[in-house]
Chains A and B, each alone.
Chain A
Amino acid sequence: MDFKESGFMYAIAACVIGFVVIESVYFIVKAWRAGRKLGISKETLKNTVVSSAVFSIAPALSILTTVIVLASALGIVLPWIRLSVIGNLAYETVASESMLEVMGSSLSTPITEPKQFGAVAWVMTLGTSFALVLVPIFCKGIHRRVGKVVNKSEKNSKMADVLSAAAFIGIIAAFIARAIYGKTADGVGDAGFMSIATLITAVIASFLLELLCEKCRLQKLQPFAMPLAMFLAMGMAVLLTQVVPEQIRAFTWWNQM
């Protein structure tokens, strides 16, 4: 049996995934109890659970894709472990590729040597673990400062609303800008016709669904409007690939020359 997919590796995966699930359940229960004490309705809390679960389906499938891509070289278990704890789509691919390059190999070739496998596991781990050192040190301090700013601005409700919205928009703007004029390291998903068309579809679909919820008083649909708009935009990307001529849909800012 391939050592990368041995019972031992599955046992490690079970421990790591068990840890993540238990921690998540612990924080959910703690927050739920605090929420009830604060007077947040059960319906709001339930809506949060359901809409967050629905929201996570498509990105989770995308993460699963990375697991499958990495599996050709690393076996299925190590990428599964890495992307269940702290992992990130981009980090894991770059880290493993860097280590394999040093050893004269690449992600397209399966690892056969346990030493190579161990080396990749070390680089993936050490590359991404720094945040777990920073968070316990700085989270409380940052949180205390944010609390002070919020308390101050709560006195001026308009300022609080505007700054809160500006912070959200600041984050979203980075991704919108990348869809308009971003270039990826591997050239897959560069900004161009397809990324902009998908972005516009998502915006319009979200507008229309929000409008539908408001006009027809479909409050139960409200939490699903955003994930639904996302799925519609993903569907549009598939449709456009089928119906738009190649020279148009393949257009990106980087391949027009």
Chain B
Amino acid sequence: MAKRKEKMSPYYESVHRAGRIWTLGALGVLLGVPVAICLRFNAWPEMDAVFKALVKVLPIYWGTAVIEVLTYTPMLGAGGTYLAFVTGNITNLKMPCALNALENAKTRAGREEGEVISTISIGVSAITTTVIITAGVLLFAPFLGTLTDPDSVFSPAFTYILPALFGALGAGYLRKHWRLSILPVVAGVVVLLFSPTMAVGTLLFVTLVVSIGGALLMLKLKWV
């Protein structure tokens, strides 16, 4: 006999329904951009040239997309996932932003409270980013070019933004869960010793699996 699926709460059901509609809408909007450009400027590209470029990037991008959907969905919650995948910049912005908000609100992904906090955090982050990029494009583009120019005094701040971001975010966890933290960081470094340019989306999958596997082992051995 077929197993009956457990019913989700009405809130979750409505989030998934709305999320699917918005995501498919976003896909339409996204594909509409090159179509509109080609129609307006009568500039349909040669398909074999596009295909040549796609062959180089698709295996990486589509492979990473599968890993990202599997990795981020449990961390971001339903609403957060639908929103984050449409608004982009997940690894370097939406995901750490949601983790920080969950930590501040003292809840976790997978709980309904966590779902709410994660969604609000990602939504606010998307709007803030949009406002900053829009203001930058319309008002500060010439000025920002000078600010972030490799010769600018402020350029290192942007070059090393990821160590700054994840160091600050990781500190709280390192302090509270130092036993859990050692294994995934060491695993990440060991993988990079053999493949230093590995894409972060792939490396992240490795460290996540090692971290959860290590935590289960430590629980069994009563080390944590």
Contacts and interface: CB of A to CB of B under 8 A. Distances in A.
Chain B interface SS verdict (over half) = helix
B103 to A, nearest CB: 8
A23 interface: yes
Contact of A198 (B124, B164, B196): B164
30 contacts: A21-B127, A31-B119, A32-B120, A35-B120, A38-B113, A44-B105, A63-B133, A85-B29, A113-B43, A118-B44, A129-B27, A132-B27, A136-B19, A143-B77, A144-B5, A162-B219, A169-B180, A173-B211, A174-B188, A174-B207, A176-B170, A177-B185, A180-B185, A195-B163, A202-B168, A205-B168, A206-B169, A230-B168, A235-B157, A254-B196
**Which 3 pairs from chain A and chain B are nearest by CB?**
A177-B188, A202-B167, A170-B211
Interface residues of B, number: 158
Interface string A214-257: 00000000110011011101110110111000000000011000
B164 A202 contact: yes
Given A131-B85, A165-B176, A172-B166, A181 B73 contact: no
Given A68-B144, A158-B219, A169-B170, 20 more contacts: A17-B130, A19-B25, A23-B25, A27-B18, A49-B124, A51-B100, A56-B125, A64-B136, A71-B141, A88-B92, A89-B92, A115-B45, A118-B45, A132-B23, A135-B73, A177-B187, A178-B162, A182-B196, A234-B158, A237-B157
Interface string A57-74: 111111111011001000
Contacts of A1: none
A256 B33 CA distance: 45
Interface residues of A, number: 158
Chain A interface SS verdict (over half) = helix
Contacts, number: 561
Nearest to A179: B163
B73 A142 contact: yes
B104 A51 contact: yes
